[in-house]
Amino acid sequence: MEPAYVVTLSFLFLFLFLLHHLLGRHRRRTNNGKNKRTQLPPSPPAIPVLGHLHLLRKPIHAALARLAERYGPVFFLRLGSRQAVVVSSAACATECFTENDVCFANRPRFPTLLLVSFGGATLPMCRYGPYWRNLRRVATVQLLSAHRVSCMLPVISAEVRAMARRMYQSAAAAPAGAARVELKRRLFELSHSALMETIARTKTSRAVADDDTDMSPEAQEFMKALDVFLPLLSGANAWDYLPVLRWLDVFGVRNKILRAVSARDAFLRRLIDAERRRLEEGGENNDKKSMIGVLLSLQKSEPEVYTDTMIMALCSSMFAGGSETTATTAEWAMSLLLSHPDVLKKAQAEIDASVGHSRLLGADDLPRLGYLHCIVSETLRLYPVVPTLVPHESTVDCTVGGHRVPSGTMLLVNVYAIHRDPAIWADPAAFRPERFEDGRADGLFVMPFGMGRRKCPGEALALRTLGLVLGTLIQCFDWDTVGGAEVDMAEGGGITLPRAVPLEAICKPRHAMLGVLKGL
């Protein structure tokens, strides 16, 4: 290395170190001038420019949990050009989303989020205000009301039956009548197909009928876009915190995102244009209209509010939230059941006793399947869909856990750590659905769908879909691991909580259900 280059680097590092030191002294003087209650939360040692970014190793929820063990349930991070507060206790999370709910109702304006969310127009990512309130009202009243969810259930049940039929046919054609399946692809295809029907009244096309490995072209198209988006939406994405990375973009992140966004938007436009043509040809009553149909009807009366961009933003949120998260949670549930065959047998026994062997379980059976609900609840406790929630941002100065949180601070709530808090849950890392039986968990803190006014409005639909999917897989098939090996429970990274390795399992039709499966 040239001596002049070494000298330049040394002076640059020295300058950055002195700047960081002077800023740190100023912050300490500011904090010392206030009483103890209004000091910033404790913070790990930072390094110049990066701050604490180097501490956010993936998966981020695990890295934040380790920091919480050392610095407490509320601690402060400087992430490049941004500041953040991390909350890892039930009491402080409740404080954030009750007395400070309005303060934390906003979302940070991350460059990545702006690129993938139509400039911040989607329901999960938009700023708090009149636009969000209207979007939320449309979602809860028009698209995800109890009545609309009930209307969706026959469509979801039909897709679940189609999945069971394909799996039975694959197993029947395999040696020994047992098939090896990659569950995430199956589950994503099911969720996506059901959403295509309810959002756009459009059925997916399959390149190879009843093929075990090929997904429909539509599901593949959307899954490819999500595979690009989700890893970049994590709270540990340095591209959002260091402007120099965006200016240089040596890794081509921006172009990669824009290509995926272009493909997703073209997909959504095709659905909207097709539904607009269908509505022009003949009207339908509101119950039979697709979600896009309902939104296009609203567009006629208020075109300046219900623009095509707003409709695309809502549909994008529905597809992403309804397909990826449902498939991921169901995959974790099956991973846990494969690791605990006694729980699987107990669930089968409950379904056999309540539903029998002469038909598939349906939505009307779910209220009687208490143990199945416990399995879903325990899965969401151990593997919450978004382990640190979608980031929030404070709009005014407030206090959390006795510490000052300045306006403009990003809030990360480590739901994963809270759900595994030994002060709340006995043996918190163990998979024990029984802990939710007979109301034993009532009053204990779980928030897999968030809390407060930004809570996910699709919770009811997600829970009923998960019940139908898991219940059918348990009722119709016996399950085993590939080669009798232990299930790898390693976690992946991103804003959601995927498995590091997709789950593969051996499914064999249950003898008692052969008559039903043959008739599907």
DSSP H helices in 80-237: 90-96, 111-116, 130-137, 146-173, 183-200, 217-232
Could you tell me if 171 and 508 are in contact, meaning their C-beta atoms sit under 8 angstroms apart?
yes
Please compute the mean of the pLDDT values over residues 135-154 and round it to a whole number: 91
pLDDT score for 211: 47
| Average confidence (pLDDT) over 305-317 | 93
Q: Nearest-CA neighbor of 411 among 399, 393, 437? A: 393
Give residue-wise pLDDT tens across range 206-258: 544 444 445 677 777 777 787 777 776 665 677 788 887 777 776 677 888 88
Place 5 in a pLDDT band, splitting at 50, 70 and 90: very low
Q: What is the pLDDT of residue 202?
A: 79
Residue 258 burial class via C-beta count within 10 angstroms: exposed 0-12, middle 13-18, buried 19 and up: middle
DSSP string, 455-469: S-TTHHHHHHHHHHH
CB count in 10 Å sphere of residue 515: 11
Q: Which residue has the higher pLDDT, 405 or 34?
A: 405
Residue bearing tokens 């030994």: 422
Sign of CA dihedral 512, 516, 518, 520: negative
C-alpha closest to that of 389 among 446, 463, 340, 310:
446
What is the chain's mean pLDDT, rounded? 87
**pLDDT tops 60 at residue 492:** yes
CA separation for the pair 201, 234 (Å, rounded): 32
Most confident segment among 142-151, 185-194, 447-456, 492-501: 447-456
pLDDT at 79 over 80: yes
The pLDDT-based confidence of 304 (bands split at 50, 70, 90) is: very high
pLDDT value at residue 206: 52
Is pLDDT above 90 for 392?
A: yes
**What pLDDT was estimated at residue 226?**
78
Selection from 153, 175, 180 nearest residue 477 by Cα = 180
Nearest residue to 190 (alpha-carbon basis) of 168, 211, 170, 161: 161
Q: Tokens at residue 325, please?
A: 């998260």
Closest CA to 118 of 296, 332, 264: 264
What is the distance in angstroms between the CA of the first residue and the CA of the last residue of the chain?
71
CA 232, CA 240: separation in Å to the nearest integer? 9
Percent of the chain topping pLDDT 70:
87
126 in a labelled binding site = no
Q: Does residue 102 have a pLDDT over 90?
A: yes
Instruction: Confirm if 84 and 412 have CB atoms less than 8 A apart.
Output: yes
- CATH T-level fold of 109-393+428-518: Cytochrome p450 (1.10.630)
Query: Could you tell me the two tokens for 69?
Result: 């063990």
Question: What would the mean pLDDT of 336-345 be, rounded to a whole number?
Answer: 97
What pLDDT, on the 0 to 100 scale, is given for residue 285?
A: 58
Reduce the DSSP state of residue 304 to 3 states and report it.
coil
Residue 12 confidence (pLDDT) above 70? no
* Residue 401 neighbours by CB under 8 Å, 6+ apart: 41, 72, 73, 74, 87, 89, 91, 92, 95
The more confidently predicted of residues 21 and 102 is 102
59: preceding bond cis by omega (within 30 degrees): yes
Question: Whole-structure pTM over 0.75, yes or no?
Answer: yes
84: helix, strand or coil: strand
Sorted by where each begins, the domain ranges of the chain are 109-393+428-518
